[in-house]
Amino acid sequence: MPRADPRGGDRDGSLVSHNGAMRVVVLTGAGISAESGVRTFRDSGGLWEGHDVGAVATPEGFARDPDLVQRFYDARRRAVLEATPNPAHRALARLEETLEDDLLVVTQNVDDLHERAGSQRVVHMHGELRRARCQACGHRPAWDDDLADSPPCPECGERTLRPDVVWFGEVPYELDRIADAVSRCDLFVSVGTSGSVYPAAGYVALAATSGARTLELNLEPSEVAHLFDEVRTGPAAELVPAWVVELRGALTR
Ligand code: BJW
């Protein structure tokens, strides 16, 4: 697909370039899966209401009480297996059919609803619930069962599997690939994230300083909403399909 000048024709307030081409990065957070019935973290009724974040989302918490943490993630894994993608996930999969390699979905979510909607170019920067990680050998097998009963690692046999998720103080996955895509994109769109966890919350600033237009789609303005060129508020299952129709229409004209 021909390349738009990232600092050129699309800087007049339109979210698409005038020659109909662009590289797009979509950063997603828990809000995109909310309408699939997957609980967010910080909203009222969210996962962390009634949970000490340090107890369930840090390596120190896991070392202190592995059984509590394994049971917390086992319950969430079961909930994710029962959830299904919603119109927001499906709209991003349709956008990928148009943009192909020019779209990268960077998700903070540990569910696999983007993939089940049909997206193929997805980076899980905070890991995946349906994967385990062996603390002895580093193997990362696909995993749909509980971990609380300490099953052996299929690779080395040690009973040292943990959820393959990124806790506070750990380094997220694929940071170089993400930074490269964000700094080279023409349009950066953030969907359903509170903008309270770094480095993800810093990507809007990287995109903006690299010359991209920036758009936030969220139920309410996030903590970093002031850094975006445009903020649209509402449920992701409505906002994302509408934005995808708008963008695809402009790209194919
Ligand atoms: C809807 C909706 C609907 C609801 N429709 N919208 C400054 C700079 C850099 C780092 C730091 C810093 N200060 C501190 C740090 C360290 C720390 C950090 O950010 N701490 C903050 C508390 C400040 N960061 C880290 O430790 C990270 N690692 C790191 O920095 O390594 C060092 C390093 C970095 C770079 C290079 C070299 C070294 C790791 C962070 C790991 C986060 N892990 C978690 C848990 C994952 C496992 C699990 O799932 O349990 O990831 S925390 C949790 O928060 C989870 C999420 O992915 C993440 C973000 O949450 P998200 O998705 O935004 O959800 P919510 O609930 O907060 O918001 C939902 C939003 O949806 C809301 O806005 C709603 O309005 C909206 N919404 N319904 C549309 N229907």
Read out DSSP for 121-169? SEEETTEEEEEEEETTT----B--S--TT-PPPTTT--S-EEEEEPPTT
Residue of 60, 114, 168, 203 best suited for mutating to test ligand 1, as the one with most atoms within 8 Å of CB? 168
pLDDT in tens, the chain (253 residues): 333 333 333 444 555 554 556 999 999 999 999 999 999 998 888 888 778 888 999 999 999 999 999 999 999 999 999 999 999 999 999 999 999 999 999 999 999 999 999 999 999 999 999 999 999 999 999 999 999 999 999 999 999 999 999 999 999 999 999 999 999 999 999 999 999 999 999 999 999 999 999 999 999 999 999 999 999 999 999 999 999 999 999 887 6
Cis peptide, bond prior to residue 87, ω within 30 of zero: no
CA dist., res. 96 & res. 102, Å (int): 8
Q: Which residues line ligand 1 (CB under 6 A)?
A: 29-31, 34-35, 40-43, 46, 57, 108, 110, 126, 165-172, 175, 192-194, 196-199, 218-220, 222, 235-236
Q: What local confidence, expressed as pLDDT, does residue 14 receive?
A: 56
* CA-based torsion, 180, 27, 76, 36: positive or negative: negative
Q: What is the pLDDT of residue 1?
A: 36
CA 198 – ligand 1 centroid, Å: 6
So what's the pLDDT on residue 45? 85
- Atom of ligand 1 minimally distant from the CA of 168: 26
Tell how far the Cα of 195 is from the centroid of ligand 1, in angstroms.
7
Tokens representing residue 81 in the block: 């297996």
pLDDT for the residue numbered 5: 35
Distance 84 CA to ligand 1 centre (A): 22
- Cα(144) to centroid of ligand 1, in Å? 24
The predicted pLDDT at position 253 comes to 65
Structure tokens at 69: 């943490």
Contact criterion met (CB below 8 Å) for 16 and 250 = yes
Q: Which of 40, 92, 131, 239 gets mutated to test ligand 1 (max ligand atoms within 8 A of its CB)? A: 40
| Closest by CA position to 110, among listed 160, 41, 52 | 41
22 close to 251: Cβ distance less than 8 angstroms: yes
Phi, psi of 205 (to 5 degrees): -65, -40
Q: From residue 87, how far is each of 33, 118, 158, 217 by CA, in Å?
A: 10, 12, 41, 14
State pTM to two decimals.
Answer: 0.94
Whose alpha carbon is nearest atom 36 of ligand 1?
A: 171
Q: Are 195 and 31 in contact (CB under 8 A)?
A: no
Nearest residue to 229 via CA among 207, 246, 249, 250: 207
Residue 240: CB atoms within 10 A of its CB come to 27
The SS3 call for residue 103 is strand
Place of tokens 């000048």: 5
Q: How far is the CA of 10 from the centre of ligand 1 (A)?
A: 30
* Distance, CA of 188 to CA of 215 (rounded, Å): 6
For ligand 1, atom 55, name the residue with the nearest CA: 108
Q: Among 165, 175, 198, which is best to mutate for testing ligand 1, by the most ligand atoms less than 8 A from CB? A: 198
Element (H, E) at 17: none
Residue with tokens 């089940």: 116
> What integer pLDDT is reported at residue 46 of this predicted model?
86
What are the residue numbers of the active site? 126
Query: From atom 4 of ligand 1, which residue's Cα is the shortest distance away?
Result: 31
